[in-house]
Structure 1
Amino acid sequence: MSGLFTGLRFDNMNSSEKDLLSAVTPLMKLLSLIVIGLVLAHRRTQVIPKATFKLLSKLVFALFLPCLIFTQLGQCITLHTVTLWWFIPVNVLISTVIGCLLGYIVVIICRPPPQFTRFTIIMTAFGNTGNLPLAIVGSVCHTANKPFGPDCHRKGVAYVSFAQWVAVILVYTLVYHMMEPPLEYYEIVEEGGEIQEQQEDNDVSRPLLVEAEWPGIEDKETELSKTPFIAKIFKSISSVSQSSLSNLDLTAEGSVNSPKSIRCLAEPRVVRKIRIVAEQTPIQHILQPPTIASLLAIIVGMVPQIRNFVFGYDAPLSFITDSLEILAGAMVPSVMLILGGMLAEGPNDSKLGLRTTIGIIVARLLVLPLLGIAIVALADKLHFLVHGDQMYRFVLLLQYTTPSAILLGAIASLRGYAVSEASALLFWQHLFALFSLSLYIVIYFKLLSYV
């Protein structure tokens, strides 16, 4: 009799209790780190100021996380493993599509304020595929029994890192444009607030979550980042005047008399609009330190000559990779301390509404993981997954289980759209995720066979 996964277990009560303990213990470790960060950053204690947590987030972003990705992914990936791991990035796309559908259902049922319709869909669809799964994998594998095998941590980090590039591309293209201020509410949302918001950008009062996964975001703001750029262009093909398009093109390209502008006069109007939007897509932000580390790890790992020169006990550059591994060890505790500091700030005021907030939390943290189990089970039945590798399946399931990506809060701040709502929703999601993650990781441990 076959179960959902190959190797589904039906053990006795003693074994079940042992499995339950093995599943809960890693989460208790992470919870302890979060509590420490919360205590250190709480307003009543202020043992460590917020500025220190922001510096720590920059270290994670620019040093600890890239070191972890490069050392673990580089040692695991080869040309053969790339052909075996193809379903990992595909699973990110599937989870995002299903999340969008769930977000649309939340909009229909909960009826959020009209200006937050796209925001509701985005926050339901895009989960944390980076720091939090890496922390969970690190904690799960930091045990004596190594539940997913002796190479548990290295493979888990490699799988999570291999999925990140898809999520990063989606965030800096699709999410960036979906998070632009709604055109019909632009005057209400932005009036009298843009100057004050820009003045607060460099202040310590900026919420920690804004820079938790994108330090230095204030340097990325452009003249068009806080405006409904796409909506102005595509509102109506017939109603948008040639002069307004010329103004947008002037902003995007510099001078209406430039050779590019003369060339554009011969372009079809729709093609011209698409080109202007493409030019304003911040695709250059994709090359952040973690993404660069992933690309380097893939290149080094796939070329045997370079791989043998960098990785291995006898490799000439082994002293460098050993140093990077030491730095990588600081990633998990640092991320959990930053998350505790974020929770210590408490939720901001939100106009999203209690019903919509609950709807997003239920859809993202309770319903989506159930659908994820079905998707991964189907993929396993179709032989899309690596045979006998339960860590592979565990990482795929985690992609459906995490709360919304903290990076969405940074994007909201960059676009000037639903900033307070993103902060409040991320707070409540991560608070509730302490319980939902515990529940589903126990379920995953029961479904997956491990030694």
Structure 2
Amino acid sequence: MGFLDLFSAASMPVLKVLIVTALGSFLALDSVDIFGRNTMKQVNNIVFFVFTPALVGSNLARTVTLESIISMWFMPVNILLTFIIGSALGWVLLTITRPPQHLKGLILGACAAGNLGSLPMIIIPAVCNEKGSPFGDPVVCHEYGMAYASLSMATGAVYVWTYVYNLVRFFSVNSQDLNNVVASRDQLTESLLPSSSSTVNKKEKWKVRSEMMKQQLWNLSRRLNLKAVFAPSVIGAIVGLMIGTITPMRRLLIGTTAPFRVIQDSASLIGDASIPTMTLLAGGNLLKGLKGSGISLSLVIGIVIVRFIFLPLSGILIVKGAIYFSLVHVNRLYHFVLLLQFALPPALNIGTITQLFGAGETECSVIMLWTYGLASLSLTFWSMFFMWLVA
């Protein structure tokens, strides 16, 4: 493949995302006021509860079988590795920059969680349809690409709503909560320790430590909310996997001769609205970053370096190692998707999570503005390099 073919195949999908994102930002302007705050919130609810589950479920049901699920076992592991490596790099960034307490969860989440949902759903089909794509027949590429992207979205949603959600929740403790913890600790110590004039024996010290540990574990358990794991997109993925892998259900719903194919067709019709709507919402949310402040430039630069330099380089080593040890099946498109998962900007769901806890909402908008602005260059470069690498 020539350089121009690779550049065209890599850049066109990103340009499409930029155009629709810019339209979303324009609609969210105060002078236009089509995408106001209340409107965006309502549209976001429709995307979250209706469009995305229909998109994920219908694609998985149509393209995934039990054999293909077994062959794609490495993808959830690969995504987990992006979170682990991103978290480790984010922790290094925290030790260097020393941000405020309430921003630590946001920074770790932005470094760990990539946009494994809407961007692969847009980029992968667009790459398949571009002239000069190394992935063969566009129809077959699109079919399998949507299956990979759907599984990526579902797996990413599980990790985001278990890991990042609880990170932000844990670090969003306000000063009053901290004062309450300190006060309760002091009261506990005073009630269990004898006066300062007496000698504190080892048994009493151990009792104090054990009681304080119990209290801290109780406080932590109250902060964890594992119910958030079952986001609508995850439920849609479970339903889609059941239909795709259970033969009697598949015969009833999937295919031109299926008696209940109208259900699958309706779900696909609804799901098709998800990608453009999510992209418009992304543009509207990024507009907030122009008005935001309160986060240091070093933090933004650090997150950009983690997500667009160190993580893609780590991904090349991991995916190439998995191919070398025959952990993944021989499929260039599958390899490309695994590599792409390491080069994505932060997950848009992080903005929703910060809104839930009121911790770092403005700062999150600034991070999203810069990372998604620079992603137009980064994704073009890495997509082109990854296509050259797998071809």
Q: TM-score range by the shorter chain?
A: 0.7 to 0.9
1:241 alignment partner, one of 188, 191, 215: 188
Distance change >3 Å, CA 373–CA 242, structure 1 → 2: same
Task: Name the structure with the higher helix share.
Answer: 2
Please name the residue that 1:30 is paired with. Answer: 17
Which amino acid in the other structure matches residue 140 of structure 2? Answer: D
Please name the residue that 2:242 is paired with. Answer: 299
**Superposed CA offset, 1:280-303 (max 9, x none):** 522222222211110001111111
Report the secondary structure of 2:343's partner residue: coil
Distance change >3 Å, CA 236–CA 439, structure 1 → 2: farther
* 1:392 paired to 2:315: no
1:401 alignment partner, one of 340, 343, 354: 343
Conservation of the 8 A alpha-carbon contact between 1:116 and 1:352 = no
Please name the residue that 2:299 is paired with. Answer: 356
* 1:379 paired to 2:368: no
Which amino acid in the other structure matches residue 443 of structure 1? Answer: F
Distance change >3 Å, CA 328–CA 177, structure 1 → 2: closer
* 1:153 paired to 2:139: no
Which amino acid in the other structure matches residue 109 of structure 2? Answer: I
Please name the residue that 1:438 is paired with. Answer: 380
Q: Distance in 2 between matches of 1:116 and 1:236?
A: 24
1:93 alignment partner, one of 70, 77, 80: 80
* Unpaired runs of at least 5, structure 1: 1-10, 191-226, 245-266
* Unpaired runs of at least 5, structure 2: 192-209
Conservation of the 8 A alpha-carbon contact between 2:185 and 2:212 = no
**Superposed CA offset, 1:333-365 (max 9, x none):** 111111122223333433331112111112112
Moved more, 94-103 or 171-180: 171-180
Tell me by how many angstroms 1:306 deviates: 0.9
Conservation of the 8 A alpha-carbon contact between 1:181 and 1:417 = no
Conservation of the 8 A alpha-carbon contact between 1:365 and 1:403 = yes
Q: Distance in 2 between matches of 1:167 and 1:285?
A: 13
Please name the residue that 1:186 is paired with. Answer: 174
Tell me by how many angstroms 1:144 deviates: 6.7
Tell me by how many angstroms 1:279 deviates: 5.2
Distance change >3 Å, CA 381–CA 240, structure 1 → 2: farther
Q: Distance in 2 between matches of 1:43 and 1:65?
A: 28
Distance change >3 Å, CA 70–CA 241, structure 1 → 2: same
Report the secondary structure of 2:289's partner residue: coil
Report the secondary structure of 1:327's partner residue: helix
Please name the residue that 2:389 is paired with. Answer: 447
Conservation of the 8 A alpha-carbon contact between 1:347 and 1:428 = no
Tell me by how many angstroms 1:30 deviates: 1.9
Distance change >3 Å, CA 169–CA 288, structure 1 → 2: closer
Distance change >3 Å, CA 430–CA 238, structure 1 → 2: same
TM-score for both structures, normalised by structure 1: 0.74
Tell me by how many angstroms 1:147 deviates: 5.0
* 1:72 paired to 2:59: yes
Distance change >3 Å, CA 116–CA 48, structure 1 → 2: closer
Tell me by how many angstroms 1:66 deviates: 1.5
Tell me by how many angstroms 1:371 deviates: 1.5
**Superposed CA offset, 1:177-208 (max 9, x none):** 3223658x832xx7xxxxxxxxxxxxxxxxxx
**Superposed CA offset, 1:5-36 (max 9, x none):** xxxxxx5xxx3322221221222222221222
Q: Distance in 1 between matches of 2:166 and 2:21?
A: 33
Which amino acid in the other structure matches residue 316 of structure 1? Answer: P
Aligned runs of 1:99-114 on 2, under 5 Å? 99-113=86-100
**Superposed CA offset, 1:308-343 (max 9, x none):** 111011101112212222222222211111112222
Report the number of matched residues.
371
Please name the residue that 1:136 is paired with. Answer: 123
TM-score for both structures, normalised by structure 2: 0.84
Distance change >3 Å, CA 228–CA 179, structure 1 → 2: farther
Conservation of the 8 A alpha-carbon contact between 1:156 and 1:391 = yes
Please name the residue that 1:329 is paired with. Answer: 272
Report the secondary structure of 2:290's partner residue: coil
Q: Distance in 1 between matches of 2:183 and 2:65?
A: 49
Distance change >3 Å, CA 418–CA 444, structure 1 → 2: same
RMSD value, Cα? 3.1
Please name the residue that 2:360 is paired with. Answer: 418
Q: Distance in 1 between matches of 2:47 and 2:290?
A: 24
Q: Distance in 2 between matches of 1:127 and 1:174?
A: 13
Please name the residue that 2:204 is paired with. Answer: none
**Superposed CA offset, 1:137-196 (max 9, x none):** 23323447775343222322222332344433333333233223658x832xx7xxxxxx
Tell me by how many angstroms 1:120 deviates: 2.5
Tell me by how many angstroms 1:88 deviates: 0.5
